[in-house]
Amino acid sequence: MAALTDLTIAQLSATLAKKEASAVEVADAHLGKLDEHRALNAFITETPDKAREMAKASDARRARGEAGLLEGVPLAIKDLFCTEGVQTTAASAILKGFVPPYESTVTANLWKSGAVMVGKTNLDEFAMGSSNMTSHFGGVENPWKRKGDNRKLVPGGSSGGSAAAVAAYMVPGSTGTDTGGSIRQPASFCGIVGLKPTYGRCSRWGVVAFASSLDQPGPFARTVEDTALMLQAMSGHDPKDSTSAPLPVPDFAAAARNPDIRGMRVGIPKEYRVDGTSEEIVTLWARGVDMLKAAGAEPVEVSLPHTKYALPAYYIVAPAECSSNLARYDGVRFGLRVPGKDLTELYENTRGAGFGKETRRRILIGTYVLSAGYYDAYYRKAQQIRALIARDFKQAFEKCDVLLTPTAPTAAFAAGDKMDDPVTMYLNDMFTIPASMAGLPGISVPAGLDKDGLPLGLQLIGRAFDEETLLRAAAALEKAAAFSGRATGY
Amino acid sequence: MSLDKDTVARIARLARLKVPDEELAPLAGELSGIFAWIEQLNEVDTKNVEPMSSVSDVTLPMRADKVTDGGVAAKVLANAPGGAVYIDPSDRNAGGFFTVPKVVE
């Protein structure tokens, strides 16, 4: 029998259902991997006691015949989701000592479906970053390494710990959040599947806010089917989030088990052929088109004319929302507090000491673009461009059912690279941000290895609330690419 | 668009963010670089384009005006930096105070 930690979520569920292992045994096996790979720094908080307690309760439910969709499956949770009684840091010093007295809707849904929490994963501070290097708790190491090169690579970001934990087989699945690519880009860097659902599919309630019009929780796993299973458990209308869509949850897993894409029109946006993309990624993208064509899909060239403006527009919209959302961290009611001679100085000292460099930078950008005299030139302009980007997608989807693009312009880079100039780091998200701006679902599927042996992902983008078509296409791509790479450098 | 040190200091003040003097000049350089890159948005003609503030086109939902939650005073007060203070410690839901260290004179 394969090791419990090698199994996918679907395989674990079958193993547990057949009583070949108990949820406690499954939890213990995965907790052992957390011990073994602690050096990756994928977790900010490990919760072994809670995991065993939840696993025990899961075994009891199963004995009573009450097994849920993810009964007994161990999961890691990005430390941006509030978890009752377990410290939640957002990887920031400013939330020091914060223990939420409530549970986020998404995690509550996962526990309701029987899943077991093993810990809270590392991330870029407040989910702002593409390398996991902005975490107050230090960077996460990607389990993958270049062939013959021992340098540490980044797992991508912001959900870097969640991606690394799945790639290192510490857990079969984890949660992330995606504002501009924070699920898809780390999935590509770590050779796993990462799904950003349609904005509104998963509740944002209890998720520490970064940019509220863009933030969306989603799953990581090693197969498309597993991400579908997790999405099914995570989604659903939540009256506590006014932007949560009042729609029923489709059978996502059934869609992922049906890779029949005969007749599906796959759009290839010509504007995604941009300078700076690695030649190998361009080649892989072309191979992806061929694979889907061979599976019966019909490739169609489409145009998304405002693609290149998505990134700079995002760097107005996201910081603007961030500067407003992060105004709540003032040192008065919770978290870090650095005294000052008056109230203003208390605010300034606390925020100056509590926020890291990238967070401070984005708060400043946001404050500037929202300040008197600049609002129209920047914020309003960016919102207009956002409307044009959404219109581009709408028009493209008249000609196709899904879009296929690269996920990221490069493979994982070395820790410390791209840190000199913020714009260089921002460019990592050039292929993921347009769909975020339009609120569309996107999925990164590992599709090949580069010459250094590092994984590369391809991205599929779907229509709003049509994750089923997206999952079918992703399953077809997964089947054709037959990615079998596994990180060995850790 | 180029930002100078004084502008960065002014924004930092607006954001209630203490930025040490020696960081102002490097920050001005970084932010100027970012805004220079953002300038390309001016190439796009956005006349008569309605700004998009949200991708969800649902109208803000209404809910019935009734109590759906409660009896969790201890949880509400749990993170109070000055501690939770109850009017009647034997009945925590009778009322309490979320206390913070003194911030106004």
| Residues facing B96 on adjacent strands | B86
Rounded Cα distance between A314 and A478, Å, is 30
Give domain status of residue B36, yes or no. Answer: yes
Rounded Cα distance between B41 and B52, Å, is 15
Under 8 Å between Cβ of A445 and A193: yes
- A368 chain-B contacts, CB cut-off 8 A: 3, 7, 11, 31
The count of domains in chain B is 2
- Kindly report, residue by residue over B2-49, the tens digit of the pLDDT: 899 999 999 999 999 999 999 999 999 999 999 999 999 999 999 999
- CA atoms A277, A279, A280, A281: torsion sign: positive
The arithmetic mean of pLDDT across residues A140-168, rounded, is: 97
Give domain status of residue B17, yes or no. Answer: yes
Give domain status of residue B78, yes or no. Answer: yes
Residue A1: band (very low, low, confident or very high) from pLDDT cuts 50, 70, 90: low
ipTM of the complex: 0.94
- A346 chain-B contacts, CB cut-off 8 A: 103
Rounded Cα distance between A93 and A81, Å, is 16
Residue A179: give its domain's CATH number. 3.90.1300.10
Q: Looking at the partner chain, which of B7, B41, B75 has a beta carbon nearest the beta carbon of A382? A: B41
In angstroms, the separation between the Cα of residue B78 and the nearest Cα of chain A is 7
Q: CA of A177: how far to CAs of A196, A202, A341, A463, in Å?
A: 8, 10, 38, 19
Give domain status of residue A315, yes or no. Answer: no
**Residue A15 token pair:** 């193993």
Give domain status of residue B94, yes or no. Answer: yes
Please check the confidence at residue A424 and state whether its pLDDT lies above 90: no
Residue B104: band (very low, low, confident or very high) from pLDDT cuts 50, 70, 90: confident
The count of domains in chain A is 1
Give domain status of residue B61, yes or no. Answer: no
DSSP class of residue A380? I
C-alpha neighbours within 13 Å on the C-beta side of residue A375: 6
Under 8 Å between Cβ of A171 and A31: no
- Kindly report, residue by residue over A434-452, the tens digit of the pLDDT: 999 999 999 999 999 999 9
The bridge status of strand A402-406 relative to strand A74-78 is unpaired
Give domain status of residue A181, yes or no. Answer: yes
- Is B98 an interface residue toward A (CB < 8 Å)? yes
Nearest residue in A to B55, CA atom: A439
pLDDT score of B71:
86
Active site residue ranges of A: 78, 158, 182
pLDDT score of A490:
87
Rounded Cα distance between B88 and A420, Å, is 57
Contact A306 B103 (CB under 8 A): no
Range of the structural domain that residue B34 is part of: 5-43
Greatest extent of chain A over all pairs of C-alpha atoms, in Å:
70
Spell out the long-range contacts of A289-292 with Cβ–Cβ below 8 A and sequence spacing 24 or more.
A289/A404, A291/A476, A291/A477, A291/A480, A291/A481, A292/A261, A292/A264, A292/A266, A292/A404, A292/A473, A292/A476, A292/A477, A292/A480
Give domain status of residue A244, yes or no. Answer: yes
Question: How many Cβ contacts (< 8 angstroms) between chains A and B?
Answer: 146
- CA atoms A189, A190, A196, A202: torsion sign: negative
Contact B11 A387 (CB under 8 A): no
Q: CA of A342: how far to CAs of A345, A346, A349, in Å?
A: 5, 6, 10
- Kindly report, residue by residue over A186-237, the tens digit of the pLDDT: 999 999 999 999 999 999 999 999 999 999 999 999 999 999 999 999 999 9
Contact A355 B103 (CB under 8 A): no
Residue A44: band (very low, low, confident or very high) from pLDDT cuts 50, 70, 90: very high
Q: What's the one-letter identity of residue B37? A: W
Per the prediction, chain A carries an average pLDDT of 96
Give domain status of residue B93, yes or no. Answer: yes
- B41 chain-A contacts, CB cut-off 8 A: 309, 312-313, 316, 381-382, 385
For A406-440, b where at least 16 C-beta lie within 10 A, e where not — what string? bbbbbbbbebebbeeebbebbbbbbbbbbbbbbbb
Give domain status of residue B95, yes or no. Answer: yes
- B53 chain-A contacts, CB cut-off 8 A: 213, 383
- A102 chain-B contacts, CB cut-off 8 A: 75
**Residue A340 token pair:** 């000052």
Residue A145: band (very low, low, confident or very high) from pLDDT cuts 50, 70, 90: very high
Under 8 Å between Cβ of A318 and A361: no
DSSP class of residue A126? G
Map tokens 């309630």 to a residue: A205
Rounded Cα distance between A427 and A439, Å, is 19
Range of the structural domain that residue A175 is part of: 4-258+411-481
Nearest residue in A to B73, CA atom: A101
pLDDT score of A363:
98
The arithmetic mean of pLDDT across residues B68-93, rounded, is: 88
pLDDT score of A203:
98
In angstroms, the separation between the Cα of residue A423 and the nearest Cα of chain B is 6
Taking a contact as any Cβ pair under 8 Å apart, which residues of chain B between 48 and 87 contact chain A? 49-56, 58, 60-61, 63, 72, 75-76, 78-81
Nearest residue in B to A419, CA atom: B30
- Kindly report, residue by residue over B84-99, the tens digit of the pLDDT: 899 988 888 888 899 9
Please check the confidence at residue A389 and state whether its pLDDT lies above 80: yes
pLDDT score of B56:
77
**Residue A396 token pair:** 């493209």
Under 8 Å between Cβ of A461 and A439: no
Nearest residue in B to A426, CA atom: B34
Exposure of A87 by Cβ count < 10 A (0-12 exposed, 13-18 middle, 19+ buried)?
middle
The arithmetic mean of pLDDT across residues A52-73, rounded, is: 98
- Kindly report, residue by residue over A229-288, the tens digit of the pLDDT: 999 999 999 999 999 999 999 999 999 999 999 999 999 999 999 888 889 999 999 999
Rounded Cα distance between B83 and A220, Å, is 39
Rounded Cα distance between A288 and A432, Å, is 17
Rounded Cα distance between A450 and A485, Å, is 11
Please check the confidence at residue A131 and state whether its pLDDT lies above 90: yes
Residue A376: band (very low, low, confident or very high) from pLDDT cuts 50, 70, 90: very high
Give domain status of residue B86, yes or no. Answer: yes
